[in-house]
Amino acid sequence: MTKIICIANQKGGVGKTTTAVSLAHGLALRGKQVLLVDLDPQGQSATALGRSPESGVFYLLTMGASPQESSFVQSWVRSSGRDGLYLYPGDQQTMAAQTVLNAQNQPVSSIRTALKPFFKEGLHYIIFDTAPSVGGIQERAVWASDLVIVPTATEFLSAEGVGKVAYMMSILQQKKGWKGALLGILPTFYDAQTRESKITNAALKERFGESVLDPIHRATILRECAASGKTIFEYDEKCRSAEEYMSLTKQVLKF
């Protein structure tokens, strides 16, 4: 059974793409078949994997469910060049898809419905990388998901975004019949030497308890590997960042 995991926060610059790409590759390295869906108009998931952004997501979000349309939508799946890891690319056209979704008054279930053909492909996981504010796309992505991971930089202003996502999830559960759940809140850019990181992490644990996952430390290497089109496991599999993201991968495998 395919499990869908959404990486979401309503604030940018918190490590969503790094987390989505690292988790997707981590799961693939553990023998899983994974499809990474790039719902961010910047197309950074493709770039981080050494691939080019393309308009696949636009068609995924706007086309119908006829056999011909479904076949066309599935044709946009790309190899990542890594065993078990596939990419469904997006680009700036994803923003245009938002306009179409609103004009057509598509239901909150539309992304989940669009992905149904992929459930027959032997996939273990579908991972969503989302933009901080693409209107109703993020809401629909969360509703489509079985589990949500919320990365948040351990900075005072970034942590405020977690509450907004938590509120959105509660509304989706209460009013839209969402059956998914929060997998965890992932502190990122953690620096044990700074007071701000410590205080922010402690505040997250006080508010969200055991839902707060082990932090990902601030590391220049995470920017370097993305710029080189490699995942952290390819760039330096023995570094602390690789160990931390593999630990997250093992947490996900427990669900």
Please, where are the H alpha helices in 63-121? 67-74, 93-103, 110-115
Percent of the chain with pLDDT over 90: 84
CATH of the domain at 14: 3.40.50.300
Query: Sorting pLDDT into bands at 50, 70 and 90, what band is 132?
Result: confident
Mean pLDDT confidence for 2-11: 94
pLDDT at position 134 over 70? no
Tokens 């997006």, located at residue = 90
Nearest 10 degrees: CA dihedral of 35, 41, 42, 44? Answer: -10
Which of 48-57, 128-137, 139-148, 228-237 is predicted with the least confidence, judged by mean pLDDT?
128-137
Query: Sorting pLDDT into bands at 50, 70 and 90, what band is 123?
Result: very high
Strand 78-82 to strand 85-88: parallel, antiparallel, or no bridges (unpaired)? antiparallel
Give the predicted TM-score (pTM) of the model: 0.96
Give residue-wise pLDDT tens across range 108-122.
999 999 998 898 778
Domain count, the chain: 1
Predicted pLDDT of residue 122: 87
Q: Which domain holds residue 113?
A: 3-253
Give residue-wise pLDDT tens across range 39-67.
999 999 999 999 999 999 999 999 988 88
The edge-to-edge listing of strands for the beta sheet with 147-153 is 78-82, 85-88, 34-38, 125-129, 3-7, 147-153, 181-188
Percent of the chain with pLDDT over 70: 99
Distance of CA 86 to the CA centre of its chain: 14
Give residue-wise pLDDT tens across range 158-190.
877 898 899 999 999 999 999 999 999 999 999
Q: The tokens of 124 are what?
A: 């273990």
Cβ count within 10 A of residue 194: 14
3: which residues sit within 8 A by CB, 6+ positions away? 124, 125, 126, 146, 147, 255
pLDDT at position 230 over 90? yes
Average pLDDT, the chain: 94
Q: The tokens of 21 are what?
A: 């790409």
Predicted pLDDT of residue 26: 98
Predicted pLDDT of residue 125: 97
Which is nearest to 217 in space by CA: 252, 255, 249, 248? 248
